[in-house]
């Protein structure tokens, strides 16, 4: 009773930091541009058994269909209405996917594009994913309906109507981001329409939202919207659960709008993490792994319980958004796996794993001219299914980083060590480091240009462990390297700098039981 009163006193947004993951799971995977049908199957056949907590899905709302360039991925960030037919599938398919994922304990988080509608140059007609008519020039979106009354143009003070200067907070919130028609969110009518959209998804069973372009919305407007959201469906979540909110705010420092303005509303994406981790693992600007000893708040990142962290996202993996050239992606697989291993082993933040598709990169003057290319698709623009190869990787250009053994096993590592503090830190003052998580897990990384050969205190119970980077624990055995931890928790590590993956990770669930002859 007391708790309910307190929650009421401190505002209804209380609790929107909680991703409500099931079975002690800890990570989100962004299945970028996947079809709903494929996500449903992936939840059942892979994500639940491997311990993924939730999926971030591409925007499900009706969007413009751009034909020049041909169906770019970014068309989905230009809503036409809140109807639920998109390149990923129909409303029925969306509903089926949410149900099937929830039934196996995998949450769905929706990428909610609520700051704006399509670009001002989006034209007129029904070139939209549900075939709905709209007129961008007249700001007419009859299927919501929104009309010219519902946009911010009167409020924006720049001559172009665009954000021209990120140092002016009024421009950033009241003007158009890359010409996208900016909704007037202080209007109750606009708020009501957005809330209806989000509540419909909540009632279908989603667990929360990535809120796109949050920097471009006033925290006060967002607060009113989030306060009006329904509680999560009691079919899958405890009574009184508020939807999880994580807001996309790019704050690399140097701009007046700061991530902390959004902390009262939910979590926030920590872009510094992605940019700095890339620089450290690439050893740029004299960065070294040993500097990660105080990784997290010690690097002027936001508080851990506010942060959503990632090595790369769908923007910065292709030069959109921010983060810069240091950002690591699947294109640099060896360093990428190391960075992912570090992120998933370290206690800081709520971790999001990127799952991408390949495209033909074509660099000219340092810029990828093909940064717009959409997902693997058929000639008519429909997205291709994700086929699974016999070796469990994906085909047809889907990269499926989340299925790479090293990444998938580190997602499981994070679940096993959840709640345990960072422990037994060791480094060689350069690029060899090791750390544990209480007495449940230990990792050693060699990013120097020479071998690592050390006996270290792991904090683990004595026994033989299977390294989950070079292999898997399978039917009581290990397909990779094995590690002997003595009764005092000490173990000898050798990692060649030439190894395909120059790091090792073991945890209490990768401990090998005694062989039958010793019984």
Q: Is 212 in the site for ligand AAO (CB under 6 A)?
A: yes
Q: From the candidates 42, 62, 93, 212, which is the catalytic residue?
A: 212
Report the nearest approach of ligand AAO to the CB of residue 103 (Å): 30
Residues 101-140 that bind ligand AAO (CB under 6 A): 113, 119, 121
Q: Is 290 in the site for ligand AAO (CB under 6 A)?
A: no
Tell me whether residue 87 or residue 242 sits nearer to ligand AAO (CB atom). 87
Closest CA to 297 of 334, 270, 324: 270
Tell me whether residue 273 or residue 413 sits nearer to ligand AAO (CB atom). 273
Report the nearest approach of ligand AAO to the CB of residue 319 (Å): 9
Tell me whether residue 154 or residue 324 sits nearer to ligand AAO (CB atom). 324
Q: Is 317 in the site for ligand AAO (CB under 6 A)?
A: no
Is 212 known to be catalytic? yes
Q: Is 13 in the site for ligand AAO (CB under 6 A)?
A: no
Cα Dmax for the chain: 81
Q: Is 74 in the site for ligand AAO (CB under 6 A)?
A: yes
Can you tell me which of 11, 220, 298, 324 binds ligand AAO, judged by CB under 6 A? 324
Query: Rounded distance, CA 232 to CA 243, Å?
Result: 6
Q: Is 315 in the site for ligand AAO (CB under 6 A)?
A: yes
Tell me whether residue 87 or residue 405 sits nearer to ligand AAO (CB atom). 87
The interface region with ligand AAO, picked from 9-17, 138-146, 171-179, 196-204 by CB under 6 A, is 171-179
Closest CA to 337 of 456, 468, 248: 468
Can you tell me which of 81, 88, 179, 356 binds ligand AAO, judged by CB under 6 A? 179
Q: Is 215 in the site for ligand AAO (CB under 6 A)?
A: yes
The interface region with ligand AAO, picked from 69-77, 81-89, 191-199, 415-423 by CB under 6 A, is 69-77
Tell me whether residue 17 or residue 58 sits nearer to ligand AAO (CB atom). 58
Q: From the candidates 111, 174, 221, 248, which is the catalytic residue?
A: 248
Integer CA distances (angstroms), 298 to 55, 280, 295, 304, in order: 29, 15, 6, 11
Query: Rounded distance, CA 410 to CA 484, Å?
Result: 20
Report the nearest approach of ligand AAO to the CB of residue 378 (Å): 22
Name the residue number minimizing CB distance to ligand AAO.
119
Crossing angle for the helix pair 188-204 and 219-227, to the nearest 10 degrees:
50
Beta bridge partners of 131: none
Report the nearest approach of ligand AAO to the CB of residue 354 (Å): 12
- By the 8 A CB rule, do 304 and 348 touch? yes
CA-based end-to-end distance of the chain: 53
- By the 8 A CB rule, do 320 and 281 touch? no
- By the 8 A CB rule, do 339 and 328 touch? yes
Tell me whether residue 169 or residue 178 sits nearer to ligand AAO (CB atom). 178
Angle among Cα 463, 464, 469 to the nearest 5 degrees reads: 135
Query: Rounded distance, CA 482 to CA 230, Å?
Result: 49
Query: Rounded distance, CA 200 to CA 60, Å?
Result: 12
Closest CA to 404 of 338, 350, 498, 474: 338
CA 494 centroid distance within chain: 33
β-pair type (422-427, 441-446): unpaired
Tell me whether residue 18 or residue 212 sits nearer to ligand AAO (CB atom). 212
Task: Assign 256 to helix, strand or coil.
Answer: coil
Tell me whether residue 248 or residue 401 sits nearer to ligand AAO (CB atom). 248
Integer CA distances (angstroms), 165 to 158, 171, 174, 480, in order: 9, 7, 12, 53
Report the nearest approach of ligand AAO to the CB of residue 430 (Å): 28
Report the nearest approach of ligand AAO to the CB of residue 51 (Å): 27
The interface region with ligand AAO, picked from 227-235, 245-253, 330-338, 439-447 by CB under 6 A, is 245-253
Tell me whether residue 254 or residue 421 sits nearer to ligand AAO (CB atom). 254
Cis amide prior to 137 (ω within 30 degrees): no
Can you tell me which of 178, 335, 385, 512 binds ligand AAO, judged by CB under 6 A? 178
Over the window 248 to 267, marking each residue x when it contacts ligand AAO by CB under 6 A and - when it does not, the resulting string is x-x-x-xx------------
Closest CA to 194 of 20, 7, 61: 61
Integer CA distances (angstroms), 136 to 37, 123, 184, 217, in order: 31, 5, 16, 21
Which value, to the nearest 10 degrees, does the dihedral of the CA atoms of residues 472, 460, 337, 300 take?
Answer: 160
Report the nearest approach of ligand AAO to the CB of residue 502 (Å): 29
CA 501, 430, 434, 53 torsion-angle sign: negative
Q: Is 445 in the site for ligand AAO (CB under 6 A)?
A: no
Query: Rounded distance, CA 363 to CA 65, Å?
Result: 26
Residues 387-416 that bind ligand AAO (CB under 6 A): none
Cis amide prior to 145 (ω within 30 degrees): yes
Report the nearest approach of ligand AAO to the CB of residue 217 (Å): 10
Report the nearest approach of ligand AAO to the CB of residue 253 (Å): 7
Q: Is 350 in the site for ligand AAO (CB under 6 A)?
A: no
Q: Is 354 in the site for ligand AAO (CB under 6 A)?
A: no
* Footprint of ligand AAO (CB under 6 A): 74-75, 77-78, 113, 119, 121, 166, 177-180, 212-213, 215, 248, 250, 252, 254-255, 315, 320-322, 324
Active centre residues (catalytic): 212, 248
């Amino acid at each position: 009773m007391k708790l309910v009163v307190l929650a009421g006193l401190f505002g209804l947004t209380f609790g929107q930091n909680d991703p409500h993951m099931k079975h002690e799971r800890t990570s989100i995977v962004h299945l970028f541009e996947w079809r709903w049908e494929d996500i449903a199957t992936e939840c059942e056949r892979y994500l639940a058994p491997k311990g993924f907590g939730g999926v971030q899905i591409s925007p499900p709302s009706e969007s413009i269909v751009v034909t020049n360039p041909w169906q770019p991925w970014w068309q989905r960030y230009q809503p036409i209405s809140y109807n639920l037919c998109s390149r990923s599938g129909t409303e029925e398919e969306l509903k089926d996917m949410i149900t099937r994922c929830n039934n196996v304990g995998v949450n769905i988080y929706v990428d909610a594009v609520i700051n704006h509608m399509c670009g001002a140059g989006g034209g007129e007609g029904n070139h939209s994913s549900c075939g709905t008519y709209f007129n961008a020039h007249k700001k007419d979106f009859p299927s919501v309906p929104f009309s010219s009354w519902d946009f911010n143009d009167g409020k924006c003070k720049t001559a172009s109507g665009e954000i021209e200067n990120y140092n002016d907070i009024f421009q950033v919130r009241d003007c158009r981001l890359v010409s996208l028609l900016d909704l007037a969110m202080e209007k109750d009518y606009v708020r009501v329409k957005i809330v209806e959209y989000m509540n419909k998804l909540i009632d279908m069973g989603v667990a929360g939202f990535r809120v796109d372009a949050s920097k471009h919305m006033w925290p006060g407007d967002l607060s009113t919207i989030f306060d009006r959201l329904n509680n999560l469906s009691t079919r899958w979540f405890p009574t009184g659960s508020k939807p999880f909110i994580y807001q996309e705010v790019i704050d690399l420092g140097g701009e007046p709008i700061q991530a902390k303005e959004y902390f009262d509303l939910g979590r926030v994406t920590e872009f510094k993490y992605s940019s700095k981790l890339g620089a450290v693992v690439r050893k740029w600007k004299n960065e070294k792994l040993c500097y990660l000893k105080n990784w997290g708040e010690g690097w002027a990142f936001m508080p851990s319980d506010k942060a959503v962290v990632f090595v790369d996202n769908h923007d910065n993996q292709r030069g959109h958004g921010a983060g810069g050239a240091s950002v690591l992606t699947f294109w640099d697989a060896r360093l990428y796996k190391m960075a992912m291993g570090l992120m998933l082993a370290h206690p800081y933040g709520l971790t999001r794993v990127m799952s991408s598709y390949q495209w033909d990169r074509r660099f000219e003057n340092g810029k990828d001219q093909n940064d717009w290319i959409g997902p693997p698709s058929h000639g008519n623009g429909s997205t291709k299914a994700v086929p699974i190869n016999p070796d469990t990787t994906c085909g047809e250009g889907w990269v499926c980083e989340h299925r790479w053994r090293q990444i998938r096993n580190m997602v499981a590592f994070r679940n096993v060590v959840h709640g345990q503090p960072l422990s037994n830190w060791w480094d060689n003052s350069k690029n060899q480091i090791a750390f544990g998580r209480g007495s449940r897990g230990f990792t050693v990384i060699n990013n120097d240009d020479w071998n690592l050969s050390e006996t270290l205190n792991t904090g683990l119970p004595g026994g033989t462990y299977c390294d989950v980077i070079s292999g898997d624990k399978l039917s009581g055995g290990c397909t990779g390297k094995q590690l002997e931890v003595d009764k005092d928790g000490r173990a000898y590590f050798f990692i060649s700098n030439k190894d395909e993956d120059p790091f090792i990770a073991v945890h209490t669930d990768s401990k090998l039981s005694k062989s039958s002859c010793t019984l």
